Amino acid sequence: MQRKDIKIRSSEGKEFDCYLVTPDAAGKVPAIVLASAVHGVDRDMRALADEFAAQGYIAAAPDLFWRSVPGPLARDDDRTKTRSQPRLEKIKAGEADLADTLAEVRKLPQFNGRAAAMGFCYGGPYAILGPKRLGYAAGISCHGTQLLDYINELEGVSAPVCIIWGDQDHAAPAPVQEAYRAVPPRMKNVEVHIFPGVLHGYMMHGNAKAFSEETYRFSMSRALAILDGLRGAEREPLRKAS
């Protein structure tokens, strides 16, 4: 696979950084765009992009914080809190970044035209907003935050959407999780999985307290299955809510 740090020309006329990994696979393949947590495109995000590329998919991880404090930040850096607020306003601005990143991916001859948005923590809402109005063919959220503000955005979405939390996630309390549990019975394109005993940040190897190997592997398997469904006309069957 080939790893690059590239610059993307934003629709606002400025540039932002993006980590782009293309696979060695022959032929055209789907892509996945990773919307990071408040720590930005750090070692964990790059490792996730590398893993998707190793499985044969294009992976891109844009810097969603280029307008304020760009680049990756350590977990104990207080700027992670300030650069992500006011949250709804920041997420709205980042919609353009997800759209601009997808436009950049479309330039790749290896891209088959179908991409998934995968969000972590802060980036979780893009798993819904991506398929809703940004041109993405699927969405996956892992320990996503602020998702109750976006539950109504699911209306009218027919693309696959997968939401995964741990039931000990302080950023997604029980009322939020229960609201999402009620969605799959009426929307067959949505799956919700909640793992007992799992904390917020379970996908991040760099978060030793929260990392959960089992939940990480499950989340990756669902993302890879959904991506496999974007290879052709057949959609990957959704897993039953758990």
Residue 210 covered by a domain: yes
Q: Tell me, what amino acid is at 225?
A: A
CA distance 10 to 86: 21
Asked if residue 240 belongs to a domain, the reply is no
Q: What's the CATH number where 60 sits?
A: 3.40.50.1820
Residue 237 forms part of a structural domain? no
Whole-structure pTM value: 0.94
Give whole-number Cα distances, 189 to 49, 115, 157, 217, in Å.
25, 16, 8, 21
Handedness of CA 167, 168, 170, 173 (dihedral sign): positive
Residue 241 lies in a domain: no
Each residue's pLDDT tens digit in the chain (242 positions)? 999 999 999 999 999 999 999 999 889 999 999 999 999 999 999 999 999 999 999 999 999 999 999 999 999 899 998 999 999 999 999 999 999 999 999 999 999 999 999 999 999 999 999 999 999 999 999 999 999 999 999 999 999 999 999 999 999 999 999 999 999 999 999 999 999 999 999 999 999 999 999 999 999 999 999 999 999 744 444 555 55
For residue 206, give Cα distances in angstroms to 39, 75, 182.
11, 9, 32
Task: Look at residue 92 and tell me if it is in a domain.
Answer: yes
Domain range enclosing 104: 2-229
- Position 238 in a domain: no
Any domain includes 25: yes
> Is 12 inside any structural domain?
yes
- Domain count of the fold of the chain: 1
195 DSSP β-pair partners: 166
